[in-house]
Amino acid sequence: MSIPDLSVELAGIKLRNPVMTASGTFGYGEEFAEYVNLESIGAIITKGLSIKPKAGNATPRIQETTGGMLNAIGLQNVGIDAFIEKKVPFLRSVSTPVIVNFFGNTVEEYAELAERLDKIPEVAGVEINISCPNVKHGGIVFGTEPKAAYSVVKVVREATIKPVIVKLSPNVTDIVEMAWACADAEADALSLINTLTGMAIDLNKRRPILANVTGGLSGPAVKPVALRMVWQVAKAVKIPVIGIGGIMTGTDALEFMLAGATAVQVGTANFLDPAASSRIAAEMENYLVENGISDVKELIGALDI
């Protein structure tokens, strides 16, 4: 059998395979270049960017939990000026599409960032973070209220001609309602899920382990929740959905595609296996070969219920 087609198209961005790296788990790509062939993955999504550099939260910021990890980094990032000056030159050397995740404190900041990113040729698309659970401003305010989400997506849509992905929070009553609001505001794609708000406690100290008290849960532990939400949202909207949540293997990724995802993002797995994204793409290919499937797109939404 010939080599199966793993390519997918996402809002006009051509991906050689459906595997992208989730924002905040892959730095700016450069950090991982020693361990993974960046040319073997679908897209790189960079660490959430703000206008000004952001300090992030106090430590401890991370804690391993059963089958997962909690993080409360607090969106620490270099800011857009340093991103352009120090990070873009490396990304220019990679042919893999680069999608920039960003966030603001206000609708105006979202618009300003979208305008500035629109001018950077190395940026293939943007991912709006309206779902970080670990900061008071910048994200979650817009991520839990459909009207607020609509207004943010709308201004970003007007500020850039690049594909706009909106990353959704699972910490809402009805994720489909949020998805509809973003689709109405002409988002090109939706990515979900961001982390689930969680907590870890030190019994002997009688204190929360994270300085931020709560944090976002990621890793294999969240996969069933993510699959359910991807399935719900993919049924409800016409735009492509990107599945995220505890993907560790090619099997996991293909399950998300059956649930309706056009592509996937690998997050926590990058931390324990820096080559995870590339390995997962290879495992997907193996599955297709072994099962005589010539095109991965055949599996999108092919869940038999």
User: Contact residues for other proteins (CB under 8 A)?
Assistant: 24-27, 31-32, 34-35, 47, 53-56, 59-64, 66-69, 71, 73, 76, 219-220, 248, 268, 270-275
* Nearer of residues 58 and 302 to other proteins, judged by Cβ: 58
Q: Does the annotation count 132 as an active-site position?
A: yes
- In 3D space, the residue among 140, 68, 154 whose CA is nearest the CA of residue 111 turns out to be 154
Distances (CA, A) of 210 to 60, 136, 227: 5, 16, 27
Which CB sits closer to other proteins, 54 or 154?
A: 54
Q: Which of 132, 135, 222, 253 is catalytic?
A: 132
The DSSP string of 239-255 is S-EEEESS--SHHHHHH
Beta carbon of residue 253, minimum distance to other proteins (angstroms, whole number): 16
Question: Shortest approach of other proteins to residue 56 CB, angstroms?
Answer: 7
Helix%, strand%, coil% for the chain, nearest 5? 35, 25, 40
Residue 141 corresponds to which tokens in the numbers above? 């305010």
What distance in Å separates the CA atoms of residue 20 and residue 222, rounded to the nearest whole number?
18
Q: How far is the CB of 96 from other proteins (least distance, A)?
A: 17
The smaller minimum CB distance to other proteins, of residues 54 and 162, is found at 54
CB of 55: closest distance to other proteins in angstroms? 3
Sign of the dihedral defined by the CA atoms of residues 92, 93, 98, 102, in that order? negative
Residue placing its CB nearer to other proteins in the complex, 60 or 301 = 60
Residues contacting 178, CB < 8 A, separation 6+: 143, 144, 146, 149, 168, 169, 172
CA distance 151 to 148: 5
- Tell me which residue has tokens 């910490």: 171
Residue 33 beta carbon to other proteins: minimum distance, rounded to whole angstroms? 10
Nearer to other proteins, 71 or 191 (CB): 71
Q: Say which amino acid occupies 74.
A: G
CA 21, 23, 25, 29 torsion-angle sign? positive
Which residues are annotated as catalytic? 132
